Amino acid sequence: MLVPMSTGIVVKEVLLLGLRTKTHTFLRNVLQKSFDVITLTETWLIDGINDSEIFDDRYLVWRRDRNYSRTGQLRGGGVLIAIKKDLITDGCNDWCSLAEDVWVVLTLRNSQTTHKLYICTVYIIGENHGYSLGEQLVNFSEKLTAKSSGRPNDSFLILGDFNMPNLTWVPQPGESYLYPTNISGWHQITFFDNLKFCNLEQYNHLKNLNGRHLDLVFSNCEVTIEASSDPLVNEDPNHPALIVTTHFTDLKPLTTIPRIKYLYEKANYNAINDKLSKIDWPKTFSSKNIDEAVKKFYQTLYNLRDSYVPTKIIKVNHKYPSWYNPSLIKLLKEKHKFHLKYKKYKNITDLNTFILLRERAKIIEKECYQVYIAKIENNIVENPKSFWSFIKNKKHSSVYPSVMSYGGDSLSSGSCTNKFMLISRVF
């Protein structure tokens, strides 16, 4: 589910029917887009597949893989939420129910207010050796009721496959949400009673190939649902990919603090040596203990560095994958520009240009990736280090959490320095 930064949050919801064999395709498609939130259902992921194999370092990932040993199932299941790391986000593990669900909370701030949005993606289906579908429905809704009852001013967005094909969803006159009919069994009655208590309505009006609503979108605020014209992977016709847009608040992303780089190759070492030679070190340290002497020594060096080593401000920008060439990067920037123009002015010419650039970018990206892989394969004999660097990059992630907490204190600034200071308190 995607949310545009100008109007709220855009969330891309995808039901995958297995991501294990699609990681390369999925990651390459994610790299060409800029969704605020991506939710996945039926990921089929296991411990051996790292988050960095399916998302780049723009995203923080929360996932709940299926426990095959407990459920007695051989495949399927698994849910995931990925959120841009420049949003203030935290996981809500204690919200999870007997169903396969994962919860996160976004703290949305503008100039006047702070607002919390709880996002959940869920997959509910009967387990072979575990809980029935009915038990999961009831437990999920009861857990939701208990957790949300003390948060009347917060917003909720729940997406997923609830496996209730018997329901018929009827539009309400003058409203954008739909009402369920043909409710059957005590578990469905309890489920919808609890959702009604939480003021949650269902907004997905898009039917699947069989004319059913299997994937549902519940919220206590109005949201807009549209079919994705460019899915991240090939769609399952029973579970079309959705784009969900909220409209209740603007976003204020975390600010990224620029860093200072010292240009030591341009330093005035003659002046530094001259200053150091004139310091009477025995006299400087004579009245100090060892800790004070070390502090004075480093303070002197830092002062000389700041005086005679020039600096440069480094802005942290999005790092493109190593196989992207300048032509592709330029094309992606143009595509993003026309997408923003269409969102703002609704000009059909801008939309057509965006679609054209999007298709061209896919072709060029595929060519770049093929050249990149071929180069690595050809270099295995002569330069095996490049191959292992490729593998290492697949397994490595340098993403820091957007919110860190310890001892009742939490930090959500864009600077890593304060987070490291918080970590240091643990040791």
Tens of pLDDT, residues 361-380: 999 999 999 998 888 888 77
Please, which residues bridge with residue 80 across strands? 40, 63
Give me 139's structure tokens.
Answer: 């437990």
Tens of pLDDT, residues 84-122: 988 889 999 999 999 999 999 998 776 677 889 999 999
Radius of gyration of the chain from Cα atoms? Answer: 26
Tens of pLDDT, residues 316-328: 666 788 888 999 9
Q: What are the boundaries of each domain within the chain?
A: 2-246, 259-314, 326-395
Backbone φ/ψ region at 354: left (φ over 0), alpha (ψ -120 to 50), beta: alpha
Could you name the CATH architecture of 2-246? 4-Layer Sandwich (3.60)
Burial class (CB in 10 A: 0-12, 13-18, 19+), 123: buried
Backbone φ/ψ region at 321: left (φ over 0), alpha (ψ -120 to 50), beta: beta
Confidence check: pLDDT of 63 > 80: yes
Per-chain mean pLDDT for the chain: 85
The owner of tokens 């429905």 is 137
- Give the mean pLDDT of 391-405: 62
Confidence check: pLDDT of 392 > 90: no
Q: Which of 25, 63, 62 is nearest to 43 (CA)?
A: 63
Lowest mean pLDDT among 37-41, 76-80, 237-241, 423-427: 423-427
Tens of pLDDT, residues 243-270: 998 876 555 666 667 788 999 999 999 9
Q: Which of 21, 94, 95 is nearest to 54 (CA)?
A: 21
* CA distance to 2, 12, 231, 241, per residue, from 227 (Å): 11, 10, 9, 6
Share of the chain above pLDDT 90, in %: 49
Please tell me which residue, 349 or 398, carries the higher pLDDT value: 349
Tens of pLDDT, residues 170-192: 998 888 999 999 999 999 999 99
Confidence check: pLDDT of 413 > 60: no
Confidence check: pLDDT of 3 > 60: no
E strands, 75-207, are 79-84, 88-91, 100-109, 114-123, 155-161, 168-171, 178-181, 201-202
Confidence check: pLDDT of 168 > 80: yes
* CA distance to 293, 294, 295, 423, per residue, from 286 (Å): 9, 12, 14, 36
Rounded Cα distance between 59 and 296, Å, is: 42
215 neighbors 39 (Cβ within 8 angstroms): no
* CA distance to 30, 380, 388, per residue, from 385 (Å): 27, 8, 5
pLDDT for the residue numbered 196: 94
Rounded Cα distance between 341 and 301, Å, is: 51
* CA distance to 24, 30, 344, 356, 394, per residue, from 370 (Å): 12, 17, 36, 22, 17
- Give the mean pLDDT of 343-359: 91
- Percent of residues in the chain assigned helix, strand, coil, to nearest 5: 35, 25, 40
Please tell me which residue, 76 or 63, carries the higher pLDDT value: 63
- Calculated CA dihedral for residues 80, 83, 89, 95, nearest 10 degrees: -20
In degrees and rounded to multiples of 5, residue 152 shows phi and psi of -65, -20
**Position 185, amino acid:** G
Cα-Cα-Cα-Cα dihedral sign, residues 363, 31, 334, 39: positive
How many residues are there in the chain? 427
- Give the mean pLDDT of 73-90: 90
Confidence check: pLDDT of 1 > 80: no
Cα-Cα-Cα-Cα dihedral sign, residues 40, 44, 46, 52: negative
List of residues 6+ apart from 381 with CB closer than 8 A: none
Q: What does DSSP assign to residue 236?
A: B
Rounded Cα distance between 240 and 202, Å, is: 16
**DSSP strand pairing (37-41 vs 404-406):** unpaired
Rounded Cα distance between 401 and 89, Å, is: 8
Cα-Cα-Cα-Cα dihedral sign, residues 171, 172, 176, 177: negative
Confidence check: pLDDT of 24 > 90: no
**Position 360, amino acid:** R
